[in-house]
Amino acid sequence: MKKQLVHKIKLTTAILSVMLLFCVAHTHAQNRSLGRFELDETELYAMTKQVSQFFSRFNNEEDQFGKKYHPQNPEFRNPEKRRIILPLLFDNENKRTSGTLKDFFVEDLVGKGKSNYLEFLGGRWYAEVAATFVHQGRDVNIILFLMIEKENLGSKWVLTNVYYPEFNKLFPKGELAEREKHFLHPMSHELDFMNIYKAFNHAQVIDFYASKEFQPDYLTLFFAEIKAGRMKFKSVDQLKFHIFQVKDWYFEVSYLNRKGTNSGWLITNLVYMTEKEKPAFIKLYEPWLSLDQH
């Protein structure tokens, strides 16, 4: 009797061990440990963790596990797959990106004959970096704009513009009547420009004496402050991207750090914008761009 009891206990222990191993294996398939935290792998796979991954998913160039499709694979850039994937790349908690405009956008991308894909090189997209600098002894917020530029066989990010209110204050637009008070007479050359002193007596509006084609170069001012040691970098605070590559559309991509599958790099703003309208907006990122150039 005692032997039978021992045998039953061993058999029960063995069964429980097998069940425990099965549970552990099943849990391992669903979760991943990170230190003392458990991560649900379904969320890990759904989360768009990198900007390059956002591009790949937008184009449907990888599977749900992040494995790249071969260009010859029928899944590569498959329009029907894109119809399923694209809505998952939107911030679904944002009214600007969760309405019918999103549906029009998706249909425009995957409709018959459409071929709107994102390109890392060769397409207009810009990074907007909100950063903190120390300027003349105090912390200030400055927006840096960057773009990808080809370099030999590779590429690099380059600064294209900055937004800093203190720079803008140096070049007020001014009313037309006010600007018309400040000019050099067309016959000034006959006076050997003796009257040019007027321009330097009004330092705050000296730019009124410049050509009407003159545009302040804030990036040069920024570099000058850095070179002179009057401005020092402190930290990067926020990052988002502005994408103009898709025909007749503009959208922003931002990082959303939250629980659930709708997280990571997502579309947080969507605007229908014709190709004729885009250059006026792109000038913010490429100030040298002519409005008839795109």
Encode 243-256 in three state secondary structure.
Answer: ECCCCCEEEEEEEE
The answer to whether 101 touches 109, Cβ cutoff 8 Å, is no
DSSP code at position 90: B
Residue 158 has pLDDT above 80, yes or no: yes
pTM (2 d.p.): 0.79
Q: How confident is the model at residue 78 (pLDDT cuts 50, 70, 90)?
A: very high
The answer to whether 241 touches 126, Cβ cutoff 8 Å, is yes
Q: How confident is the model at residue 115 (pLDDT cuts 50, 70, 90)?
A: confident
| Among 27-36, 129-138, 199-208, the range of highest mean pLDDT | 129-138
DSSP symbols for 264-285 = EEEEEEEEE--TTTHHHHHTTT
Which residue carries 């222990």 as its tokens? Answer: 13
Residue 241 has pLDDT above 70, yes or no: yes
Percent of the chain with pLDDT over 70: 81
Q: Given this model, what pLDDT does residue 177 score?
A: 57
Tokens of 165: 């209110």
The answer for residues whose C-beta is within 8 angstroms of residue 254's C-beta and 6 or more apart is 91, 239, 240, 241, 265, 266, 268
CA distance 190 to 205: 24
Q: Given this model, what pLDDT does residue 43 score?
A: 64
Looking at 27-41, 119-133, 171-185, which range is the least confident one? Answer: 27-41
The answer to whether 46 touches 57, Cβ cutoff 8 Å, is no
Which comes out higher in pLDDT, residue 293 or 169? 169
Residue 120 has pLDDT above 50, yes or no: yes
Q: Given this model, what pLDDT does residue 57 score?
A: 94
Q: Given this model, what pLDDT does residue 200 score?
A: 85
Looking at 33-42, 111-120, 169-178, 212-221, which range is the least confident one? Answer: 33-42
Residue 152 has pLDDT above 90, yes or no: no
CA distance 43 to 55: 19
CA distance 39 to 99: 31
The answer to whether 129 touches 240, Cβ cutoff 8 Å, is no
Residue 20 has pLDDT above 60, yes or no: no
Give me the half-sphere count of Cα atoms (radius 13 Å) on the Cβ side of residue 289: 17
Q: Given this model, what pLDDT does residue 176 score?
A: 57
Residue-wise pLDDT for 34-63, tens only, equals 344 444 556 656 788 899 999 999 999 998
- Residue among 231, 272, 49 at smallest CA distance from 142: 231
Burial of 187 (0-12, 13-18, 19+ CB in 10 A): exposed
CA distance 216 to 164: 13
The answer to whether 269 touches 97, Cβ cutoff 8 Å, is yes
Helix, strand, coil percent values for the chain (each to nearest 5): 40, 25, 35
Question: Helix or strand or coil: residue 147?
Answer: strand
Q: Given this model, what pLDDT does residue 22 score?
A: 35
Q: Given this model, what pLDDT does residue 81 score?
A: 92
- What is the number of other CB atoms lying within 10 angstroms of the CB of residue 209? 16
Q: How confident is the model at residue 290 (pLDDT cuts 50, 70, 90)?
A: low
| Among 20-29, 105-114, 131-140, the range of highest mean pLDDT | 131-140
